[in-house]
Amino acid sequence: MKVHIEIDCTPEEARTFMGLPDVGKANDVYVDMMSKAMKGVSNTDQLQEYAKQLAPMGQAGFKLFQSFMEGANAAKAQGKKPDPTDD
């Protein structure tokens, strides 16, 4: 049996309902810090190196994300949906 429930609410209402904290102020500080840091980036190599340093789990996380994006791009080029069970 399948049950489908659709709830129409704003992100703020969902966060309150689930008891999650409001991280809006922390996000604003993070975005401001990232914007200031990115102003010094003048080419794509610098941007890539900076992204590697900030990526979750360091370089391993960056490589995982990169392989995910390459796999999705290859699947799109072949005209099929990516299979999440493929490893």
Which pTM does this prediction carry? 0.38
- Token pair in block for residue 75: 């699947």
Whether 17 and 9 have beta carbons less than 8 Å apart is answered as: yes
pLDDT at residue 74, rounded to an integer: 77
For 57, left (φ over 0), alpha (ψ -120 to 50), or beta?
A: left
Q: What is the DSSP letter of 55?
A: S
The CA dihedral of 84, 59, 50, 68, to the nearest 10 degrees, is -10
In this prediction, residue 8 carries a pLDDT of 93
- Domains of the chain, residue spans: 11-78
Show the low-confidence residues of the chain (pLDDT under 50): none
- Tracing tokens 């429930």 back to the chain, one arrives at 5
